[in-house]
Structure 1
Amino acid sequence: MAIGVWAKNQRAAARKTAENAARRAAGEEGVSYAGELSEARQEALAEIDPGWAPAWDVSWQRSYRLALAHVKAGGVFPTGVGELVVQGEDLGAWAGAQRVGWDRLMPAQQYLLETLGIEPAAEGEAVGPVLRSQEERWNTNLAAARQFHAREGHLRPARKHVENVNGELIKLGAFLDNTRKRVGRLSPERRGQLAGFGLQWAAQEGSA
């Protein structure tokens, strides 16, 4: 078996193991152990690479990898939004979001962040600025749309749906609803970005 295929199978088994563990923790009975990885196998693989098969979303893993490379190069994390953008990812804002949303992270994520020198925010501590440019807000909402679409296979969330992106809660349903109402004022680039997720604008354009 090719290494790539083997690794893909191991990741799939790891995700299934994590999902089944969550189901059992929630009280679900009769969850089969078939196809799961043993604890010993997971520990052995984790020794090679702690992030080899994350149960969390790909966008978090991407930001972590970029942050890890930044730290290994001797870098530190700024406190301001937009001060450290690497390959389109605002690592300063990402690090701040992890500190604020620490309790919502998995233990493995918390461990990985601690190895980067990122710790939970102290009680009452204000972490990072809240002001963002229009472009930054658009990119944040777009990341939420991308994550939802990758998970659900469509981009039709409920009006009140809130998407958790790297510990930050994004009102994705409201964003899409408001965006449809002002589609006529969107740039071709932004319309194209959302159309890439299968969003249809024809019905809205007639009333815009």
Structure 2
Amino acid sequence: MGQWPTNIRRPDGLGKNQGRTGRRAEKPTALDPDWNPRESGWTVDWQRHYAYLAQLLADGALLDDVVPRVTRHGEDVGRWLATQRRDFSKLNAEQQRRLGELGVKKTARAHKAPAKTAVASGPGKGGGALQKGVEALAQYIAREGRLPGRGGVQVLPDGTEHRTGIRLRNIKARHDRLDPAQLAPLAELGVHWAR
């Protein structure tokens, strides 16, 4: 029985003859005016979740309690509701009206934090990461006797792996923003571009 609505919702599912299609559509429309949600501009999935939300509210749930992982018939209605609130302006007018009747409104978007501005590195700025990189580089050179290639990795005494080769290339890409005090330990290790 569940396959029948799916079949008649398909394009030409009620036939290709327009007159006959109209007559055939009268019966499912009498049962449910929303039997073919595509004609209203949304999917069966949207309509199913909308119906489940309406059922939850009719059963006494509060809208604020319908959060992600709140389900009905195995469908995550809470996650769907969060998406509808977030994308409210993308919904068509009828979808907005129907959700509005249930009390659903667009979620106020949080203000984005201003973009970080580039700050020239100086002593103390990012020094911890740079110092850790220099230590890893020194250990790598002591072990291998050379500067690392791109894939060079050094295991530090605390057990963490430091991708020394990639880190050295990242430092090189921004070495013009480092001050002489930050470049000196690299130069002492034989990094020519740090001189």
Q: Report the TM-score when normalising by structure 1.
A: 0.36
Q: Report the TM-score when normalising by structure 2.
A: 0.38
